Amino acid sequence: MQNTNILLRLVSGILLLALPFVPAAQVPISDTQYVIEGLTTDTVYLKTASNTDQTATSTMFPATDGTIAVTATAGPNNTNSSSFYYLGALRMVYANEAPAGGTSLALIAPNGGEFLQAGKATDIRWESQNLINVILEYSVDAGDNWQPIDTVPAIGQSYNWTIPATPTNDGRVRITANTLTDTSDDLFEISLDSTSCNIVVLGSSTAEGAGASAPDSSWVSRFSRSLAGNTRYQVTNLGRGGYTTYHILPTGTPIPGGVNISIDQTRNVTRALALNPFAIVVNMPSNDAANNFPVADQLANFRRIVEAATSQGVRVWVATTQPRNFTNPGQINVQRIVRDSILAIYDEYAVDFWNDLAADNGFIRPEFDSGDGVHVNDAGHRLLFKRVSQLAIDTLNCSVSRAGR
């Protein structure tokens, strides 16, 4: 980030600046300096690397023209080789004045009915407005007694909670800020059961999240979040943009002459099986057709991938091709043939990622196009999520030995 200037225009009054910052664990010390200039000048500092709950604050009258300027730069103790620094959010609070729009607080999850395993983690999620901090607590006796979890900035609206080793069928969470409070609408279970049911996604850019406006809007993220109420189930995403069926073949599979692709042993079906899954979802939308790989070769690759997993008792769902705005009609025809073949070959283990997304000409329907003619937007990802959700993979029992197809 280059030197960043923020100009705030105020009519009158005292301004309290609270500056929470996003985690930056990937860098060394990213010390950040903030110079706040109004009627006077103040300088504050914050170590932003790996920061999740620290803030820098300053109380300031505006200048005579009603403005306060905030300049962010690398601080004197910044040891990052590129002098990186961060500003995640800025909050203005007027002294002795109620915040515009009032305050509100609502607990979203866990809200009742969840199955949570001791020692694992789940997100406590909430919605809030004009609040600085929230107090998080839990109860194992339906709310008769409460144990502290943490006090965190309200702006995060999410907290990754390590579930305590106190088995109960009468769990609740409570969130409090100022005079506002909300609790789980119903009871949830905390269990000592340690079963893990891993679902692995193999794929290319759509699986990785391309086209979505934010990572949590992708179909895989939506699917993972939909399973949060049962910590037995978890999703591991091995998708990578640009990948074809050749990239995810079993390790050691011979690659035919003329195909200049190497198997990625960190993201292929062999790696997926090393994660001990009970289910795999394969999402390869269109890169094989873009590379002009013949239909027969694509189907042979799918067969090798599926057989490698089912031979170990792992269920595999194969998504069809997806529409793409190919200018070459031959490539669109290949997409259609592979789509129909997958639906016929894999039957109940096929996932329809074509119908409703595709226009009659095989292009992405405009309302689902992210803008590049290749990837779907948030609405498209939402539709793909619904198709995967309808498989009800999370209703399958994975606590026994792996079941075959």
Average pLDDT, stretch 326-348? 98
Tokens 């029992």 belong to residue: 397
- For residues 293 and 287, what is the distance between their CA atoms, to the nearest angstrom? 9
Of the chain, the percentage scoring pLDDT greater than 90 comes to 71
Q: In CATH, what number does 4-94 get?
A: 2.60.120.260
Peptide bond into 76 cis (omega under 30): no
What backbone phi and psi angles, to 5 degrees, belong to 68?
A: -130, 130
Q: Are strands 91-94 and 15-20 parallel, antiparallel or unpaired?
A: antiparallel
| Tens digit of each residue's pLDDT (9 = 90 or more) over 359-405 | 999 999 999 999 999 999 999 999 999 999 999 999 998 864 444 44
For residue 300, the Cα-to-chain-centroid distance in whole angstroms is: 32
For residue 102, count other CB atoms closer than 10 A to its CB: 8
Tokens 């996932």 belong to residue: 351
For residue 139, count other CB atoms closer than 10 A to its CB: 19
Q: Using N-to-C axis directions, what is the helix angle for 329-346 and 295-310, rounded to 10°?
A: 30
Tokens 């730069």 belong to residue: 73
pLDDT of amino acid 48: 63
| Tens digit of each residue's pLDDT (9 = 90 or more) over 270-290 | 999 999 999 999 999 999 999
Average pLDDT, stretch 332-347? 98
| Angle value at C-alpha 375, between 221 and 309, nearest 5 degrees | 55
More confident residue, 10 or 203: 203
- Kindly report the average pLDDT of the chain as a whole number: 88
- For residues 24 and 19, what is the distance between their CA atoms, to the nearest angstrom? 15
Q: What is the C-alpha end-to-end distance of the chain, expressed in Å?
A: 51
For residue 203, count other CB atoms closer than 10 A to its CB: 25
For residue 98, count other CB atoms closer than 10 A to its CB: 9
What backbone phi and psi angles, to 5 degrees, belong to 283?
A: -130, 90
- For residues 346 and 310, what is the distance between their CA atoms, to the nearest angstrom? 12
| Tens digit of each residue's pLDDT (9 = 90 or more) over 317-333 | 999 999 999 999 999 99
- For residues 44 and 385, what is the distance between their CA atoms, to the nearest angstrom? 44
What single-letter DSSP state applies at residue 356? T
**Length in residues, the chain:** 405
Radius of gyration of the CA atoms of the chain, in A: 26
Using the Cα atoms of residue 110, residue 111, residue 114 and residue 116 in order, give the sign of their dihedral: positive
Burial of 346 (0-12, 13-18, 19+ CB in 10 A): buried
Would you kindly state where each structural domain of the chain is located, as residue ranges?
Answer: 4-94, 104-191, 197-395
- For residues 93 and 67, what is the distance between their CA atoms, to the nearest angstrom? 15
Q: Residue 149: which residues within 8 A CB-CB, separation 6 or more? A: 124, 136, 137, 138, 159, 161, 173
Tokens 């990622």 belong to residue: 353
pLDDT of amino acid 405: 43
Q: Does domain 104-191 have CATH number 3.30.60.50?
A: no
Average pLDDT, stretch 89-102? 68
CA-CA-CA-CA torsion for 302, 307, 308, 311, nearest 10 degrees?
A: 160
For residue 299, count other CB atoms closer than 10 A to its CB: 16
4-94 shares its CATH topology with 197-395: no
- Nearest to 48, CA basis, from 93, 7, 4: 4
pLDDT of 59 over the 60 cut: yes
Q: Using N-to-C axis directions, what is the helix angle for 219-226 and 378-389, rounded to 10°?
A: 40
Tokens 């993979």 belong to residue: 393
For residue 138, count other CB atoms closer than 10 A to its CB: 25
pTM over 0.85: no
Q: Are strands 115-117 and 233-237 parallel, antiparallel or unpaired?
A: unpaired
Q: Give the CATH fold of the 197-395 domain.
A: Rossmann fold (3.40.50)
pLDDT of amino acid 332: 98
